[in-house]
Amino acid sequence: MPSPRFPEGVTVADEDTIYVGTHQGAVIPSTSPSHVFTYDRNGNLKRDYVIQGQNASGQGILGMELDAKGQLYILDRHPSASEKIHCLNRGRIVSVG
């Protein structure tokens, strides 16, 4: 798994799309924001989405969920005192709350 490693939240969308989020600073200080990686069924990396606006010292992604329409929602705990929800929308991650 590419940096920043520490997988947190794995969601299977369909037969050929697996989403894996990253948590920051689980063992060592993080130097980059969280990412959501998509993999195919063979484990090949398809795409890398960066959670914009995160400070490298934050907590990162806590979990992900797909709704009935296949929309991916991402729970982000950054800064550590609050929570944000991001949504993967048309190839971009946008904050929704």
In whole angstroms, give the CA distance from residue 63 to residue 48: 17
| Number of domains making up the chain | 1
pLDDT, position 67: 85
Collect the ranges in the chain with pLDDT lower than 50.
81
pLDDT, position 81: 46
pTM, 2 dp: 0.77
Task: Tell me which residue range forms the domain holding 24.
Answer: 7-95
- Decide if 2 is inside a domain: no
Q: Where residue 17 sits, what CATH number does that domain have?
A: 2.40.10
- Decide if 14 is inside a domain: yes
Residues 6+ apart with CB under 8 A from 7: 1, 20, 21, 22, 23
pLDDT, position 44: 94
pLDDT, position 42: 92
- Decide if 46 is inside a domain: yes
- Decide if 1 is inside a domain: no
